[in-house]
Chain A
Amino acid sequence: MYHTIRIGGHSLAQGTFLRSLDDGRIEIDAGHARLSGHPVTPLHPSDAGRLRGALRKTLTGAYLRSGILTAVAAIGLTLTGTATLKAQDNVAILNVSYDPTREFYREYNTLFNAWWAAQGNAPVAVQQSHGGAGAQARAVIDGLPATVVTLALSADIDTISERTGLLPADWQTRLPHNSSPYTSTIVFLVREGNPRGIQDWDDLVADGVQVITPNPKTSGGARWNFLAAWAYAGRNGLDPAQFVGTLYRNVPVLDTGARGSTTTFTQRGVGDVLLAWENEAFLALASLGEDKFDIVVPSVSILAESPVALVDGNITSDAQRAAAEAYLQHLYSPEAQALATRHYYRAWDTSQAAAEDIARFPELELVTIADFGGWPVVQTEYFGEGGIFDQIYEE
């Protein structure tokens, strides 16, 4: 598929599409050279967004000239503008995701768009929204028009399904591996040299150890943290409720999302140990310096499946459905799986992943959510209103 791009002020070049760059430019193969520039036919046909942007600009100018009345009219224009433009057939996907996936999806969106265009399709504008998984699910229930959700645990997507009917109850059977293209687990991040000598879960309940973990009510990662601690207590003949209760008494701050907790621990310097997604812990090391923190792998942890799903009820056109379905399915492709591995996720297909990326993952005993009876049971029993977490935290 040929694309025309603008190079500099006036010259144009044509060639086959190679890849999209982050800033809206694309790279093409012009035969003699690889060139990059802004596409003349827009690669991201989010015309609604573009036109609204233009409208905003004119608005600002117009307001200065003719004052308040224009501004009032402008609101009407923006409203109707949004409405009419949405009706047009522009293929945009809104991926509502959770905190630690920001870096992965930024790269995956480029990978997907290049592959999608190579299949001869019109390019897709992928918009991202990130936050605590529970809070993001809540936003989708309240009307955030997610095309696909890629959240921290299936319970979050179950809640959306139950409350809104936007997707069927059996959504998790629609894609392989329980609709989880990548998984992770829960590990400990400690300060350099591990000054508190933390080796396993039982070190977290010692007096004076400060543990950083988000709130299980709003964060998916926090629920995995909770269950992993519970599993450890069960395996070691301890009373799980008492053990986890003691652990949470050592938590000075409960952030709403995993990324908030990571920031609290790494940048604000609060706490001795962070209970983190394995990928989040690796990312903190890579972003903030390997000499500042160490990863400690406990004896038992949990296999954390992070599922993805199409939000059928929010689909507005067949073209969008096709693109969104391909977007999710392509997550299982060897290239995307290799990308996930590079971003510190435990992926299923490592055939194209780099050996050193795979070697980073230590072997450890992983319990699964099935050992707890599955998310529907766990969600009400442990994290529901008046559930085990509420009882423990009130003490």
Chain B
Amino acid sequence: MSDIALTRPVPVTTEPPLARYLLIGLAAVFVALFLFAPLVTVFVEALRQGWVGVIDALRLPDAQAAIRMTLTIAAIAVPLNATFGIAAAWAITKFDFRGKAFLITLIDLPFSVSPVVAGLMLVLLFGANSTLGGWLIANDMPIVFAFPGILLATLFVTFPFVAREIIPVMIEQGRTEEEAALTLGASGWRTFFTVTLPNIRWALLYGVLLCNARAMGEFGAVAVVSGKIRGETATMPTMVEMFYNEYLSVAAFTLAAVLAMLALLTLLLKSLLEWRHAELLAATRRH
């Protein structure tokens, strides 16, 4: 009897402490090993010659051109795909039409197509050997191996991010609120800005951030269409590879560190916004 009384009661709704610590420890080790360690390595390699090496690397014209290129590409690709994503999600969730399932599958296509194939498709479509590409090049409007090609490749691979984030939220919310707004006499645009947009804003933000991260980090598709012209058509990820291949590992890892910083900044921005608008966020989620 007394034996039983001395045993600490274990709540049946949770795991025993040992299992709990083991699981937490396992997760921590995993995160440290596969996420934290590689990230730290990037920064350690970049700082191998101290801050002087980093500053020298960032002063290389090729590095600066690559950073400018990547930021420009992201600044154009992200708003375009955000607009597209909202339009697609709106069409899919607010209307019934033939081929809706097909459209959803089509939006997912860039996820399933390998980036290399995406790049090669652009080369086949706009390269010198196609009719369209031949005409464009003859008229001094080259697409592949120039800025537009890199933009198109980035647009293609980041195509689904925003739409994919918004569609589930909009499906879950249904059409009742919009219908109410419309019956009360609001115009289409007003309904969108006062009813729909506030409801989807967090999903939209998350989609935009993911889209941005991928737009800046894309390598495969961009490498195929970039033509590797230094200072002209090199983005940050392709420049990292070029520097590495030229035994300029400090420059390569400095640029990689800048890329990582941009990604971390994106995440920080997301957390900050979530934290500041925690209540709003909770309210949206209650819907």
Using a CB–CB distance below 8 Å, which chain A residues touch chain B?
Answer: 22-24, 49, 52-53, 56-57, 59-60, 63, 67-68, 71-72, 74-75, 78-79, 82-83, 86-87, 94, 99, 102-103, 127-131, 139, 141-145, 163-164, 259-260, 263, 287-288
Contacts and interface: CB of A to CB of B under 8 A. Distances in A.
Nearest to A68: B79
Nearest to B82: A68
Interface string B124-155: 00111100010001011110111110010000
Given A56-B68, A59-B76, A79-B148, A263 B244 contact: yes
Given A87-B140, A129-B227, A130-B242, A52 B80 contact: no
Contacts of B133: 143
Contacts of B246: 102-103
Contacts of A24: 61
Contacts of B80: 68, 71-72
* Chain A interface main SS type: helix
Interface stretch (B26-34, B94-102, B229-237): B229-237
Given A22-B61, A74-B76, A144-B144, 18 more contacts: A23-B59, A53-B65, A56-B69, A60-B72, A60-B75, A82-B147, A83-B140, A87-B140, A127-B232, A128-B230, A130-B228, A139-B145, A139-B227, A143-B128, A143-B144, A144-B145, A144-B227, A164-B128
Contacts of B129: 141-143, 163
Nearest to A288: B247
A293 to B, nearest CB: 13
B208 to A, nearest CB: 12
B127 A142 contact: yes
Contact of A82 (B65, B123, B140, B242): B140
Nearest to A284: B247
23 contacts: A23-B61, A49-B232, A57-B68, A63-B75, A74-B76, A78-B148, A79-B148, A83-B140, A83-B141, A127-B229, A129-B227, A129-B228, A131-B228, A141-B129, A142-B123, A143-B126, A143-B129, A143-B133, A143-B144, A143-B145, A164-B128, A260-B245, A263-B245
B271 interface: no
B60 A23 contact: yes
Interface in B147-183: 147-148, 151
A82 B141 contact: yes
Interface residues of B, number: 42
Interface of B: 59-61, 65, 68-69, 71-72, 75-76, 79-80, 82-83, 123, 126-129, 133, 137, 139-142, 144-148, 151, 227-232, 242, 244-247
Nearest to A286: B247
Nearest to A78: B147
Closest 5 CB pairs of A and B: A143-B128, A142-B127, A287-B247, A56-B72, A68-B79
Nearest to A260: B245
Contact of A60 (B59, B71, B126, B146): B71
A128 B231 CA distance: 9
B231 A49 contact: yes
A87 B139 CA distance: 10
Contact of B79 (A67, A145, A260): A67
B162 to A, nearest CB: 12
Nearest to A257: B245
Nearest to B120: A142
A22 B123 CA distance: 32
